Amino acid sequence: MLTKDGSKTDFANMPIEEVARGNALDVFYTLDLYYLLEESLSDHFLKFHSEVIEPLNSYLALQTYNGIVIDTTKLEEMEESLVQKKDSALKAIYTIYPEGKNINSSKDLREFLYCDEGINPVEGSFNVYWPETTPKGAPSTNAESLAFLLKEVTRELGERGHE
């Protein structure tokens, strides 16, 4: 704690009269603040506060303290299942996507999905037009753009009789 002149002090070394005075001032100004706030709060809200929010506070503290258990067996199972699903999705992707291309690379995806205009198409690419650009103006490969492409492809296939 810092005193007025900037030197360090602590409660243990402070004369009891000073500590008592400081605490009294704390209480005084807190009460002052309470009256000030009370004026700006409606009676209705104060009733809601005392009947709902105040009692709820101790329950919320208990919620925090007790926590929620993570089932480690289920966590392991979940990890295993996600790994399997990711693997099978990846296999299906690479039956179409060229070997050596990275699915996490926006540049690689752009070259594979979109038509030229500054992009060098790779073999087997689709040459479609991008539905959105990034803030820097590059064709976007974010999830929304890919979802839009998929939605339109599915719609077009539906119109051609492929449900």
Partner 1 sequence: MSRKNWKEKERLEEICRFSIEKLPTSELLRLEKFLTNLLAYKKLDKLDTTFVKGPKRVIENYGPKVHCDFNIDGTVTGRLSCSTYYGNNRQPMGVSFHTLPNKDKKLDVNIRNIYSVDRDHQKFITADYSTMELRVLAHLADVREMKHAFNSGLDLHSHTASLIFEKNIEDVQPDERSQAKTANFLIVYGGGASNLSEVVGISIQKAQRVIDKHKEVYHEIHRLMLETEEKVRQFKYVENPFGRRRHLPDIDSPDAGMQHRVLRQAFNMIIQSTASDILLCADASLMNYIRYHNYKDRVRIAANVHDSMEVICDADIAPIVCHLIIKSMKENPVARSLIGEFSVPFEVELEVGSTFGDGIPMEECYGSD
Q: Which is nearer to partner 1, 4 or 35 (CB)?
A: 35
Q: Please report whether residue 90 would count as binding partner 1 according to CB under 8 A.
A: yes
Q: Which member of 6, 67, 100, 118 binds partner 1 (CB under 8 A)?
A: 67
Per-residue mark of binding to partner 1, 99-128 (x: CB under 8 A): ----x-----------x----------xxx
What angle (nearest 5°) sits at the alpha carbon of residue 65, between those of residues 61 and 68? Answer: 115
Contact with partner 1 (CB under 8 A) among 27, 33, 37, 52:
52
In order of 7, 22, 52, 156, the CA distances from 11 in angstroms are 13, 11, 36, 76
Nearer to partner 1, 4 or 74 (CB): 74
Interaction mask 11-50, partner 1, x per CB under 8 A:
------------------------------xxxxxxxx--
Instruction: Give the nearest distance from C-beta 137 to partner 1 in angstroms.
Output: 11
Sign of torsion over alpha carbons 11, 15, 18, 20: positive
- Of all helices (H) and strands (E), which one includes residue 78? helix 72-94
DSSP assignment of 82-145 equals HHHHHHHHHHHHHTTSPTT--TT-HHHHHHHHB--SS--PPTT---BPPS-B-TTSSBP-SHHH
The one segment of 1-9, 10-18, 27-35, 145-153 that binds partner 1 by CB under 8 A? 145-153
Q: Is residue 156 involved in binding partner 1 (CB under 8 A)? A: yes
